[in-house]
Amino acid sequence: MSAAAITLLAVFIGGLLTGVPIVFCIGLASVVTLWVADFPQMILAQRVLSGTNVLSLLAIPGFILAGELMMHGGLSKRLVRICQTLVQHVTGGLGMVTVLAATFFAAISGSAPATTAAIGGIMIPEMEKRGWKKDFAAALASAAGPIGQMIPPSIPMIIWGVVAEESISQLFLAGIIPGILIAAGLMILCYFTARRQGISAETSRATKSELINAIRDGKWALLAPIVILGGIYGGIFTPTEAAAIGVTYALVIGIFVHRELRIPDLFNITLKAMKTATVVCFIIAVASAFGWLVAIEQLPATIANGILSVSSNPYVLLFLLNLFLLFVGAIMDNIAAMIILGGVLQALGVHIGLDPTHLGAIVVINLAIGMATPPFGYSLFVGAATSNLSIEQVSKALWPMLLVQFVVLMLVTYVPFITLALPTLIR
């Protein structure tokens, strides 16, 4: 390994261990390595510019803004009401409402933190009031939020599609069944937890008229993913254009139909969305320079060969790949991880013989689980902040949910049909 490669890793890991924000770890490591390798510093600016000069990345601020507008426009609470009428009579029903609502909202926002904030803000106080332990409610919202990373329109799927030069539409399809399986697993966990905590069904079964009224009131919320995803797979517009359609849809419904979105609020809502999008794009820009240095120093091949030297058995290699990604997801931003490790992961995927779409699903699901994993999971931070509990309190209640997600991850890894069924069908 060259001096430049050692410098790159040493500065990056040293920054992480000393608590430096990851985007500055990446940037500092890139600057120092360029100096050590005697490359012109102009390369940093060039890579930052080229890393963000990708049309598909325009979908990211669009979907973030659409999610914010739909949350403030009343769509999230209508989704909660629909879900409540479906499962309110089941033991653990209120917990199931949290999971179902997060799954529906994921198909609107595509963001794990946004889903956790939107659904957790409504459901955590309600679950506590109905006898659920507050730490479990916060952990459930934190674990359900990352479903937004799997169910389209998924922002990480867009990033991986750009990094790996794969079809974003195919990657969207690959995440649907895994997302549903994780949602089903979390709902089953809610049932057994409610029984263990002595929580009975919250109310009687909703009447037919109550269900019809809830669906009628929330029809525009249910229609949102149909418009966005139907347009993409119907060939009407691209994923990037779908983001703009989502923003327009949210504005029209929030202002003129539900009338809960006020014109004076739009500035602050847009500002909040753009702050989030700026952070994402800043990470992408800086990580592009880092990723270029990683490729130049042939670190992907070195790391891939190191993993491959452990075993030649593809099942063992897949398990090691998952452990590696789970570790990375727990300590590192998922977008930066995909850009930095893209070459490594693609090299491993080719050696093992993975379908590129299957590999993309494995990568995104692993890093999505990392969004709720201590110590640095973003959804975990949002769940703790929303519930006013410490990270430690929420983390203790989170482990059964992480176990459910790990089981689904293993199924996805070793049964490719789960991720490839829908892409193959549509293809």
Same domain, 34 and 109: no
Confirm whether 44 is domain-assigned.
Answer: no
Containing structural domain, residue 300: 55-426
Q: CA torsion sign, 212 to 217 to 218 to 221?
A: positive
Q: Distance of CA 247 to CAs 58, 130, 157, 228, Å?
A: 13, 35, 19, 10
Where does the pLDDT of residue 376 fall: very low under 50, low under 70, confident under 90, or very high at 90 and above? low
Confirm whether 360 is domain-assigned.
Answer: yes
Same domain, 138 and 166: yes
Same domain, 17 and 113: no
CB 243 within 8 A of CB 56: no
pLDDT at 365 over 90: yes
Q: Give how many domains the chain has, as a whole number.
A: 2
pTM of the predicted structure, to 2 decimals: 0.79
Confirm whether 47 is domain-assigned.
Answer: no
Q: Which of 11-20, 133-142, 170-179, 189-198 is predicted with the least confidence, judged by mean pLDDT?
A: 11-20
Same domain, 201 and 263: yes
Confirm whether 49 is domain-assigned.
Answer: no
Report pLDDT digits (tens) over 5-26.
888 889 888 887 887 877 788 8
pLDDT score of 309 = 79
Same domain, 127 and 221: yes
Closest CA to 284 of 15, 17, 22: 22
Same domain, 32 and 160: no
Confirm whether 4 is domain-assigned.
Answer: yes
Average pLDDT over residues 226-249: 83
Confirm whether 391 is domain-assigned.
Answer: yes
Cα 423–Cα 426–Cα 427 angle in degrees, nearest 5? 80
Confirm whether 48 is domain-assigned.
Answer: no
Residues of 306-330 as b/e, b for ≥16 C-beta within 10 angstroms? ebeeeeeeeeebbebbbebbbebbb
Q: Which of 59-63, 364-368, 411-415 is predicted with the least confidence, judged by mean pLDDT?
A: 59-63
Same domain, 238 and 342: yes
Confirm whether 252 is domain-assigned.
Answer: yes
Average pLDDT over residues 340-361: 87
Same domain, 2 and 113: no
Of 161 and 239, more confident: 161
